[in-house]
Amino acid sequence: MSLEAETKSIVAQFEYTDEDVNKGVLEFLRQMAEGLEKDGTSLSQIPTYVTAVPNGTEKGLYMAVDLGGTNFRVCSIKLNGNTTFNLAYSKVAIPKELMVAKTAQELFAFLALEIQKFLQKHHGDQFEQHVRRRLTMSSPDGYRDENAFRMGFTFSFPVKQIGINKGTLIRWTKGFDIPDAVGKDVCALLQAEIDKLHLPVKVAALVNDTVGTLMARSYTSPGKHGTMLGAIFGTGTNGAYVEKLSKIKKPLEGEYDQSTGEMVINTEWGSFDNQLNVLPNTPWDDALDKASPNPGIQMYEKRVSGMFLGEILRLVVIDLLKNPNVSFFKDENSSSNDWVSTTTIAETSDLYKQWGLDTSIMSVAAADNTPELSTLRQALESTLHVYAPAHDDAQAFKAIANAIGRRAARLSAVAIAAIVLQSGKLDDPAFQDEPIDIGVDGSLVEHYPYFRDMIYEGLRIVDGIGEEGAKRIRIGIAKDGSGVGAALIALVAAGME
């Protein structure tokens, strides 16, 4: 078989047709409803106890901290009330020994100390005033500052949220392992260490980064209605949206403000359709899953997000290299009657290593519209040590990469379309003259050329959305979700005190 024919057959396996998109949307809607009814379903549909999204007029000074993986970030955000904000920021690497400390107290004491340093550096006057005021009190240890900073705490580990500022750690991930923290309320752990230092800070909200994206976009985007969905397409993928309280059938344990009739739901859509009822499944998807640390889990994410797309492509490339019937990244010379075929890829190339192909090369491939594919060929040479790649080889690489990227974008459209349909906003008279706003964040949607265009292409063919409906959906980038978003959740929480 020629390389061209083989490439065509591979590309066809990644095709995700209009019919597939529509089937996907129906299944997504079904799994959303199931997740709103009970725990332990494919889409977790986690209630966040956030019951309103901002409209850009919010004002005040708030703090936000983010404990993600390698770094701890502290910031303060001044919301100006006109969709703009000012941000002060500091970042520190978390010492490795604290990630596996004997007690949670050691880690959280370090975090509290970083918060103190930040306050002294960026809000010195306010901090000094607080210290002086406290010392004039008859019982300084019991002193609670009315003007304490309200702080949003973005904590990117699995937690069971039981209130707007309450959540117990389910398990550590990403190299952390402090057994005595498991099952404890992480907000209370942080507050206890903040109180030991007598800092004027109240942990007001426990924040999921996707919810932060939704809030940040809602504050900064123009229009009289807030944003209805925040979505991340980066290393992983997830979405949080505004749901009607009446549709949340499973019990809500914590306290919340019922007056808005709504609550933000964290879908955890990375695990949509782990059963593979409707998700596409090529031999390469299967191989990726089997070799992953969590087979059978996060099956939607494994077809959509930045961490995995490059790996799918790498597995296809390796199969093509092994195929004796096609010439792909090979040098072929005839010497007398013998054909000598040698690969043009260095043995040390990352192409031979699991996770060795970064998704960003797919952006290079998609963006290179030169007839010679010179940028892509250069990237293949510099990042993957493929020597002097032939034009046909680069073209095959690009066609396969594009097919994987296009399938990911159309799968992204499935989640977005389902949530738009679930909201009923296309038929809501209040939205007839206003766009339905969606905030997105992450390298894939920001840097992969035409990713958003391909999402729109998917939305247009969904029954119930169509050309007209798609025009009314506005997808815009949300920046600084974990900073300004967390501050906004702290603001909502402060209103509930």
Only one residue has tokens 């890829």, namely 345
Q: Which is nearer to ligand ADP, 36 or 307 (CB)?
A: 307
Binding span for ligand ADP by CB under 6 A among 87-95, 270-278, 358-366, 375-383 = 358-366
Whether the CB-CB separation of 161 and 167 falls below 8 Å is answered with yes
Q: Which among 44, 156, 360, 443 is annotated as catalytic?
A: 156
Q: Which residues of 114-146 are buried (b: 16+ CB within 10 A; e: fewer)?
A: bbbebbeebbeebbeebeeeeeeeeeeeeeebe
Do residues 344 and 387 touch, judged by C-beta distance below 8 A?
Answer: yes
Task: Scan residues 424-443 and list those touching ligand ADP (CB under 6 A).
Answer: 442-443
**Among this protein's residues, is 314 annotated catalytic?**
no
List the x/- string, 387-426, binding to ligand ADP by CB under 6 A: ----------------------------------------
Q: If you count them, how many residues does the chain have?
A: 497
DSSP string, 43-101: S--EE--------S--EEEEEEEEE-SSEEEEEEEEEESSS-EEEEEEEEEPPHHHHT-
Tell me, residue by residue from 448 to 467, as one string, x for binding to ligand ADP by CB under 6 A and - for no binding.
x-------------------
CA distance 283 to 276: 14
Q: Is 209 a catalytic residue?
A: yes
Q: Is 227:439 a contact under the CB 8 Å cutoff?
A: yes
Per-residue contact string for residues 225-254; x = within reach of ligand ADP by CB under 6 A: ---------xx-------------------
Binders of ligand ADP: how many residues, by CB under 6 A? Answer: 15
The CB-of-85 to ligand ADP minimum distance in angstroms stands at 20
**CA torsion through residues 394, 397, 400, 404, sign:** negative
Nearest to 331 by CA among 399, 376, 377, 387: 387
DSSP E strands in 165-249: the ranges are 166-169, 201-207, 229-233, 237-244
359 makes contact with ligand ADP (CB under 6 A): yes
Q: Which of residues 303-332 bind ligand ADP (CB under 6 A)?
A: 306-307, 310
Query: Does residue 267 bind ligand ADP (CB under 6 A)?
Result: no
- The verdict on whether 156 is a catalytic residue reads yes
Site for ligand ADP in 472-491 (CB under 6 A): none
> Between 6 and 358, whose beta carbon lies closer to ligand ADP?
358
Binder of ligand ADP out of 358, 368, 393, 480 (CB under 6 A): 358
Q: What is the binding site for ligand ADP (CB under 6 A)?
A: 234-235, 306-307, 310, 358-360, 362-363, 442-444, 447-448
Which are the catalytic amino acids?
156, 171, 209
